[in-house]
Structure 1
Amino acid sequence: GPGLRATYQWRVDRAAKATPAQIEARHAQYHQVASVLPMLQEAGVTIIAGTDAGFLNSYTFPGSALHQELQLFVKEGLSAPQALSAATRSGPAWFGQMDRYGGVAQGKAADLVLLTANPLQDIAATEKIDSVILRGNVYDRAALDKMLADTKAKVAAWNAEATKAN
């Protein structure tokens, strides 16, 4: 919404003013931290995928950020199965909820994402969503596209309102 979007303006302004040296330093810091990921996995550290989405985290949005995170995990050295496990099993295991989540079995939550391609062959396939089953409700591609269109329309209305206010 408009309030959340307003919190990003200072980040946009700060990024626009960044010097090439500052940009390079941020990239170097990222690569230094990311290079540890495979070592953590090998050492048995539980890696849990998931966004820290919120008003303090620049451009980290629920949904799309998870796909990007899985791609970064693989790019930085995890296997596709390890990345997928971090997104589907590590959280429930950490919180003692494997009896309800983290697998497909009778008695577990029926929340599934059905894909049109195999993410074990290409982790970017997690973005090729055919259908979603959430709390027993099936949302096919047409229903998902309608949700996206409705959201875009809402954002367009917010933009129009903001333009009028200025």
Structure 2
Amino acid sequence: MSLKCLRLLMPLLLTGCFSLASFQAVSAADNEQYQTLPLVNITVKNVPLEVEYAHTFEQRAAGLMYRKSMCQQCGMLFKFSGSKKASMWMQNTFIALDVAFIRSDGVIADIKPMQPHDLTSVGASQAVLYALEMNQGWYAKNGIKVGDTMLIKAQ
């Protein structure tokens, strides 16, 4: 490449680099607000929990991204905009998780494992309104299976 071409392309390349850096900075800044999501009290089978509640598009999109750990009884409840065959992936997620896909009547339709940074889409087998992400192995340790129910306590 000639020096003249390089001089012409340099501003474009730098703009692209700064745009990418700005995007990453905005993403990290946006993530700060997701660290303090509202909490909701739920019961899964007979286990009472207080979990983070991601009910807006932005909150669902960020999910548990960038977190390095989560306490044993911590999790995140996702409420979708309506019942659908939802799916999730693990972009920028460092924690191995299990996700329970939950129908609008509270019945657990699926429990599936998800691995850190795996971009493979993990989907529900039927229309669901909720997904509950917990540390991997949490459902098994608590004897919770497909067919069990989740109840959201009135706030």
Structure with larger RCO (C-alpha < 8 A, sep 6+): 2
Greater strand share, structure number? 2
Q: What's the TM-score once normalised by structure 1's chain length? A: 0.31
